[in-house]
A and B are shown apart, each in its own frame.
Chain A
Amino acid sequence: MSTSSPLAVALESIASCFEGIIPASICTCSADGKPNLTYLSIVHRVDSHHVGLSYQFFNKTRENMMHNAFVQVFVVSPSNMRQYRLDLLYERTETEGVIFDRVKMRLDAVASQTGMSHVFRLRGVDIFQVLDCRPMNAETSGEGLPRVDYLPQIEEFTARLAAYSGLESLINVSFDALSALFGYDHSFLMVPDEDSKRLFTLGSRGFGESGIGSEAWIGEGILGVAAERREVVRTTNFSRDVLYSNAVRSTVERRGEDSLIEREIALPGLPQVQSQLVVPLVAQDRLLGILCLQSAIAGRFLSDDERAVRIAARQMAASMALLERTQSTTPQEIPRQPHTVQPVATSTIKHYKADDSIFIDDAYLIKGIAGRIFWKLVQSYAQSGRADFTNKEIRLDASLQLPNIKDNLEATSDLATPPFTGPL
């Protein structure tokens, strides 16, 4: 590797250009002198003098750079729309390792979400030396964005988390702190079921009255892939990812290769979601769940946000693991008291199997696990008049497919009312 001289504009000073918020473009030149220009979805900053580009399809760009290593990439800063030219020299292609895994993770997650797993396949990451990074207009320098220092917020977050007393309190404290300290107003937490096949929403914040109440298959979609691989997936411009996927989808369909396309998965949460940060909650090498933050603003979660939330999530996971360990092995049972029910009015309760949603007199009440439990209790009541149940028997009821979090049934009524779904 050659000795690196300072670039006209340091890559670190235009960090948001490497977040995939605005598409970049790449120009190569064939051996016989014909330029070729095309779009790229993202330029990955590897270090102060290297960038990486994903290699998915063999095309003219790749053919050219194998014959002529001089390449130029053109990036746009989403913060101020300044444009920069990166003069690059192709060095090598990596097909494994840290950079490859990082690029593959993001690509696979989006591909799974948009049904393009068989189309978007990472063959390698092409690594380029950055010879220079020049502003398009000589007057322009870096983005001039102040670096975010999240250290005080993280310190405060861990302090607040220390005050929790149970799972529901832990989740509530975390959501409150993420919102108040970092401004992350839309968050939800999902936990795996006992078979580790599905994820259930245990709590949510900032999604209106009905909450999210969704489930996801582990390994499918952005949430499922993040859970399966226990890796962070950060999306900076979801609608652009979808546009890009749709463009590729149209090309694939035109080529008559429809069989390569799988079903598209709806992303739960904000209808206009642009940015998403999914962080696995792992403790003692076990996946305890995923924390998902969303925003309707493109580029809301940048690399500094990712670092901060990784720390927050580790703290949350450690607290969850501790909770499991310290919890009494014998669940406390609710004292049985005879109930005398005096009917005052009649209501119709409907249960929809597809998502276990419950409607009372056509008004939505709850869905997911909570809906399943509710339906089970109502059925018992209708059949035998029984009105008292223990947490223990609900836990042991395999037909309910409860998530693998031991004390979720001790949640208070705060968690049982919308926007939360899951525990009663």
Chain B
Amino acid sequence: MAGAYPVLIGDELKTFLKGPVSVLVGTRDSRLVPEITRAWGPYVSEDRQRVSLCVPLATSRKALDNLEGNGEIAVTFSLPRNYRTFQLKGRHATTAEPDSTDLAVVERHRDAFATVNEALGQSRQHVEAFWRAEIETSAVLVKIIFAPEQVFDQTPGPGAGRIL
């Protein structure tokens, strides 16, 4: 059955995930009520089977509870420049404390994200308000790790949701 095993992340997708993408995480609770949170610093593991990202604790408590409860996760990566979007789904997401490498990836990602939005006419200060608000009550980040089992082309239009 499709999606039973982790997929290997190819070069093109790996490059895309490393770019200045907007990252949103979808989870659900035991009543199947969804919860969205914003993540930073996506990183593809050496074996290309796992993706990690960091979410602010202050904004993601319910999402983290959901992951602890059932591990089901969907993450979209979207390029602000042209709406190119991929969705990765996994079933056994776990959490951990980010190390200094993870935090450096987060910093790089935020910087690239601000730069690409700057080119689209948003001031850097305006975009930075995004993550400032997220961490205003607590600066703690939590790392989420999951093995994608399905990859979808989620670019808007009639073909959105095509499995890759």
A residues at B contact (CB < 8 Å): 25, 27-29, 31, 33-39, 41, 57, 59-60, 68, 70-72, 74, 76, 80-83, 85, 87, 119, 136-140, 239, 243-244, 246-252, 254-255, 257, 274, 298
Contact = CB atoms under 8 A, between A and B. Distances in A.
Contacts of A139: 136-137
Contacts of B137: 137-139
Contact of A87 (B26, B33, B82, B157): B33
Contacts of A31: 32
Interface in B130-145: 130, 133-134, 136-137
What band does the interface of chain B fall in when counting residues whose beta carbon is under 8 Å from A?
35 or more
Contacts of A140: 133
A34 B31 contact: no
Given A38-B87, A119-B158, A243-B82, A33 B70 contact: yes
Contact of B28 (A29, A80, A274): A29
A257 B67 CA distance: 40
B161 interface: yes
Given A29-B32, A72-B34, A87-B33, A136 B158 contact: no
B126 A81 contact: yes
18 contacts: A25-B76, A29-B34, A35-B27, A35-B72, A37-B25, A37-B75, A39-B78, A70-B32, A70-B33, A70-B34, A83-B133, A83-B134, A85-B35, A87-B33, A137-B58, A137-B136, A239-B121, A247-B157
A181 to B, nearest CB: 27
A31 B24 CA distance: 21
Given A72-B35, A136-B59, A138-B137, A34 B89 contact: yes
A251 B26 contact: no
A246 to B, nearest CB: 7
A137 B155 contact: no
B154 interface: yes
B73 A35 contact: yes
Given A137-B136, A139-B137, A27 B158 contact: no
Contacts of B75: 37
Among A38, A85, A254, residue most surrounded by chain B Cβ atoms (within 10 Å): A38
Interface string B73-112: 1111010011111010100000000000000000000000
A322 to B, nearest CB: 42
A136 B38 contact: yes
Contacts of B89: 34-36
Given A29-B33, A70-B31, 17 more contacts: A27-B35, A28-B34, A33-B70, A34-B74, A36-B87, A37-B26, A37-B76, A39-B154, A59-B160, A59-B161, A72-B35, A81-B127, A119-B157, A137-B59, A138-B137, A243-B82, A248-B158
Contact of B158 (A33, A74, A244, A252): A252
A251 B156 contact: yes
B129 interface: yes
Given A37-B75, A119-B157, A247 B36 contact: no
A252 B162 CA distance: 13
A41 B129 CA distance: 22
Contact of B36 (A27, A59, A70): A27
Nearest to B90: A34
B126 A251 contact: no
In the A-B complex, list the 3 residue pairs whose CB atoms are closest, starting with the nearest. A37-B26, A248-B157, A247-B83
A80 B81 CA distance: 21
A274 B120 CA distance: 11
A34 B34 contact: no
A251 B157 contact: yes
A60 B154 CA distance: 11
Given A28-B34, A71-B34, A298-B121, A35 B158 contact: no
Given A35-B28, A71-B34, A247 B82 contact: yes
Contacts of A119: 157-158
A270 B48 CA distance: 47
Contact of A35 (B74, B133, B136): B74
B126 to A, nearest CB: 6
B158 A39 contact: no
A255 B159 contact: yes
Nearest to B132: A81
A347 to B, nearest CB: 43
Contacts of A83: 38, 59, 130, 133-134
Contacts of B155: 247-248, 250-251
Contacts of B72: 33-35
